[in-house]
């Protein structure tokens, strides 16, 4: 991760997928798993609003049995 000094002297950290090649495997895996978990959390909330309480089962089904 690169750190830059902002105009007010505050530090800004840039964490992009291009930077994953410069960090260790375990730290990169932690970043990717965190991204996946946060996406799953939002998908679960949105689908629960649309489908109801059985939404997690629909999401699990769509992961194991993709429709192509």
pTM of this structure: 0.51
Rounded CA separation 32/48 (Å): 24
Q: Where are the domains of the chain?
A: 2-64
The whole-number average pLDDT for the span 47-68 is 84
- The mean pLDDT value of the chain amounts to 78
For residue 8, the model assigns a pLDDT of: 65
The answer, yes or no, to whether residue 20 has pLDDT greater than 70, is no
* Alpha-carbon separation of residue 15 from 28, 40, 44, 62, 67 (angstroms): 11, 20, 25, 30, 34
Of residues 12 and 46, more confidently modeled: 46
């Amino acid at each position: 991760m690169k750190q830059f000094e902002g105009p007010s002297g505050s530090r800004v950290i840039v964490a992009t997928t291009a930077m994953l090649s410069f960090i260790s495997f375990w730290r990169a895996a932690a970043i990717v798993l965190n991204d996946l978990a946060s996406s799953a959390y939002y998908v679960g909330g949105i689908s629960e609003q649309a489908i109801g309480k059985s939404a997690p089962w629909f999401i699990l089904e769509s992961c194991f049995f993709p429709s192509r």
